[in-house]
C-alpha cells in the first residue's frame, strides 16, 4: 500500500491551480537529418530526431580528442607549455590545417587552439603523437574515454574525423560529450568560445557561426564532409540556463547557421527550468513505526529542478509517496519515500525523500504497548 501525503498534495494543488487537458508533446520541424537538444542541468531531452542513429561526425569528433588532451592537462601528465614535435605525417595531413612547421616544435596550448578554433587536422596529429606516442595509441585513448562516458554509439578510427567507415558517432553521444567537456574541464573550456586564432602569421576564424551572434553561444564544434553534410554541436547559456544542441546532415553552411538559430530560439521559448525544492528544506512528515515519535520530517539530498514545456507548468503535480511507515530506528539521511513530480509531455520524475533527523526505536515496553494498541485499535504508533 502506498501512503500519499495530503500535505504534499496541497502543495501540488497550490503549484498547479486548475489542471488543463494535457497537450501533445511540443516539437518542431528541422531540415537537419539528425537533431538532438538537451537541457544541460537536468538532462531533459527537448528534441530527438534520429539521436541514436550512427553518423559520420566529421570534425565534431575532435571534441573527443579535446577531451583526452584536457584530461592529460588536468591529471598533470602534460602542461600548456609543453613543446611537441611536428612529424612529416602530421605536416602532410590534409583537410583543414593549422599549418604547423615541419621538423619544428609547437607549444601545446597553440596546438589546442589550432585544433579547437582552426579545426586543424595537422594539430590533432601533433597532439596525438606527442602525448600518446602515436595516433593509433591516442585513438585508443579516445575510444576508452568514450566507453567511460557511456557513449555507446561512438567509435573513433582517427584523431581528426577524416572520413573512415569505422569512424562514427550519434547525436546523443555528441551531447553527452559536450556536457562532460563543460562540466569536467571548466578551467579549459574557454578555448571553445574563442572566435579566432593566429598562428605562424595566419589568422583563422572559428567555424562555429553561433559565436558571432548575441545569443549566448560559447562552444563547441562544427564539422563538414560530403557524407556527413554540415554539422554542429553547440552550447548556449542564457540567464544561467544552458542547453546543448546537436545538428547534422544539412546541405549548406548557411542552413547550418539558420537551423541552429531557429532551434535554439524554439528551445528557450517553449521550455523552461523550474526550481522546486532546495536541499535540506523540510517537505513533509513521514510515518514511523515503533519509533519514539510517530513521524519524521523529510527532505531531499539535492536541489530539485525540472525542465518542462511552459504550457505544462500549470498542470504539474507533486506528491510524497511512501511504501509504508519507516521502521525505527531511522537514520538521518535514510530514504523513506519518494517525491513524485509529474506533468504533461515529460517523463515522471522520482526523487528520494530522506529523513532529516534520526528516530530512535521504542523501548521493549513501548514496543509491547504499541503492538497491543495496534491489535486493539488498529492504529500504528
Please report how the helices 108-116 and 62-74 are oriented relative to each other, as an axis angle in degrees rounded to 10: 150
User: Domain 34-250 falls in which CATH fold?
Assistant: Beta-lactamase (3.40.710)
- pTM for this predicted structure: 0.87
- Residues known to be catalytic: 59, 62, 119
pLDDT grade for 347, boundaries at 50, 70 and 90: confident
Distance CA 331, CA 81 (A): 51
Q: What is the mean pLDDT of residues 354-370?
A: 77
pLDDT 10s digits, 173-198: 999 999 999 999 999 999 999 999 99
Contact 238, 227 (CB under 8 A): no
Q: How many CB atoms lie within 10 A of CB 238?
A: 12
Q: How many CB atoms lie within 10 A of CB 211?
A: 20
pLDDT 10s digits, 40-87: 999 999 999 999 999 999 999 999 999 999 999 999 999 999 999 999
| Domain ranges within the chain, ordered by starting residue | 3-20+276-377, 34-250
Check for a shared fold between 3-20+276-377 and 34-250. no
Distance CA 61, CA 168 (A): 8
> What does the chain come to in residues?
381
Helix (H) or strand (E) holding 231, with range, is: strand 229-238
For residue 68, give the nearest of 30, 111, 36 by alpha carbon: 111
Sign of CA dihedral 254, 260, 261, 262: positive
CATH code assigned to 3-20+276-377? 2.60.410.10
Q: Which residues fall within 8 angstroms of residue 370, CB to CB, at 6 or more apart?
A: 290, 362, 380, 381
pLDDT 10s digits, 257-310: 999 999 999 999 999 999 999 999 999 999 999 999 999 999 999 999 999 999
Amino acid at each position: 500500500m502506498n501512503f500519499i501525503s495530503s500535505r504534499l498534495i496541497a502543495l501540488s494543488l497550490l503549484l498547479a491551480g486548475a489542471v488543463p487537458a494535457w497537450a501533445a508533446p511540443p516539437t518542431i520541424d528541422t531540415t537537419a537529418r539528425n537533431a538532438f537538444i538537451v537541457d544541460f542541468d537536468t538532462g531533459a531531452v527537448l528534441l530527438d530526431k534520429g539521436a541514436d542513429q550512427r553518423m559520420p561526425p566529421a570534425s565534431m569528433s575532435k571534441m573527443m580528442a579535446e577531451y583526452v588532451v584536457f584530461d592529460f592537462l588536468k591529471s598533470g601528465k602534460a602542461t600548456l607549455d609543453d613543446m611537441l614535435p611536428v612529424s612529416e605525417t602530421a605536416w602532410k595531413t590534409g583537410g583543414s590545417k593549422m599549418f604547423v612547421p615541419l621538423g619544428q616544435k609547437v607549444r601545446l596550448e597553440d596546438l589546442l587552439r589550432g585544433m579547437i578554433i582552426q579545426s586543424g587536422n595537422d594539430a590533432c596529429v601533433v597532439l596525438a603523437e606527442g602525448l600518446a606516442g602515436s595516433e593509433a595509441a591516442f585513438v585508443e585513448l579516445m575510444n576508452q574515454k568514450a566507453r567511460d562516458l557511456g557513449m555507446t554509439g561512438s567509435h573513433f578510427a582517427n584523431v581528426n574525423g577524416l572520413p573512415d567507415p569505422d569512424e562514427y558517432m550519434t547525436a546523443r553521444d555528441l551531447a553527452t560529450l559536450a556536457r562532460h567537456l563543460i562540466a569536467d574541464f571548466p578551467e579549459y573550456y574557454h578555448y571553445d568560445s574563442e572566435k579566432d586564432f593566429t598562428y605562424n602569421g595566419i589568422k583563422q576564424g572559428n567555424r562555429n557561426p553561433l559565436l558571432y551572434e548575441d545569443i549566448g553561444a560559447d562552444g563547441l564544434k562544427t564539422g563538414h564532409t560530403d557524407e556527413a553534410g554540415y554539422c554542429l554541436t553547440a552550447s548556449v547559456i542564457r540567464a544561467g540556463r544552458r542547453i546543448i544542441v546537436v545538428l547534422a546532415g544539412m546541405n549548406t553552411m548557411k542552413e547550418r547557421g539558420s537551423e541552429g538559430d531557429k532551434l535554439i530560439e524554439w528551445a528557450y521559448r517553449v521550455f523552461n527550468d523550474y526550481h522546486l525544492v532546495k536541499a535540506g528544506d523540510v517537505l513533509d512528515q513521514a510515518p514511523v513505526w515503533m519509533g519514539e515519535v510517530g513521524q519524521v520530517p523529510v527532505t531531499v539530498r539535492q536541489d530539485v529542478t525540472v525542465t518542462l514545456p511552459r504550457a505544462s507548468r500549470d498542470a504539474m503535480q507533486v506528491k510524497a509517496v511512501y511504501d509504508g511507515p519507516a521502521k525505527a530506528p531511522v537514520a538521518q539521511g535514510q530514504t523513506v519515500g519518494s517525491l513524485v513530480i509529474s506533468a504533461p509531455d515529460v517523463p515522471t520524475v522520482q526523487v528520494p525523500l530522506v529523513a532529516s533527523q534520526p528516530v530512535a526505536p521504542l523501548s521493549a515496553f513501548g514496543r509491547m504497548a504499541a503492538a497491543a494498541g495496534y491489535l486493539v485499535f488498529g492504529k500504528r504508533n
